[in-house]
Amino acid sequence: MRYVARVRVDDIAAAHSLPGHPGECARPHGHTWAFEATVGTDRLDGDMVADFTVLKGVFKRLDHTSLNDDPEITADGHRPTAERVAEVLAARLQRAMDELPNRPRVLALVVRETARNEVVFTP
C-alpha cells in the first residue's frame, strides 16, 4: 500500500459481561475503551486515504452502550470479548471503506480494554 492512515479514538465508555467466564468478567462491568484503526490504499480520494470522521464514527457508535446488546457482536452466541469486538469493528470499518471510490483496506484494528490489555486484529 502506498498510503497508510491510522486513527485512534480514546475514552469510549461501554459495558459488557462474558457469560460462562469462570472469573469476575462474567458479571456486567465497564471499561473505557480505546480503538485504533490502520487503513491503506494505493490511491487517494480527495487527497486522503479516508476521512478520519468516517473511521472515528464506527467507534463512537459504541459509546455508552452495552456490547452484549449489539446484535452483530453477539451473533451466533458469540460473547463480547475484545477479540470479538475487534473482528466486528474491522468488518464495519471495511464496509464503510468499501463505499469510498479508492476502496481502502483495513490493515489492522487495535482494541484496548484497559491501558494494559489490548488485542490486535489483522483481517
How large is the angle between the packed helices 82-98 and 52-60, nearest 10 degrees? 140
Provide the pLDDT for residue 31.
Answer: 97
- 21 is known as an active-site residue: no
pLDDT digits (tens, 9 = 90+) for 78-113: 999 999 999 999 999 999 999 999 999 999 999 999
Contact of 11 with 32, CB cutoff 8 Å:
yes
Provide the pLDDT for residue 120.
Answer: 98
* Structural domains of the chain, with CATH: 3-121 (3.30.479.10)
Q: Which helix (H) or strand (E) holds 13?
A: strand 3-16
Catalytic pick among 25, 31, 83, 118 = 25
Provide the pLDDT for residue 23.
Answer: 94
pLDDT digits (tens, 9 = 90+) for 17-47: 999 999 999 999 999 999 999 999 999 999 9
- Give CA–CA dist 74/15, Å, rounded: 14
The pTM score is 0.96
- 113 is known as an active-site residue: yes
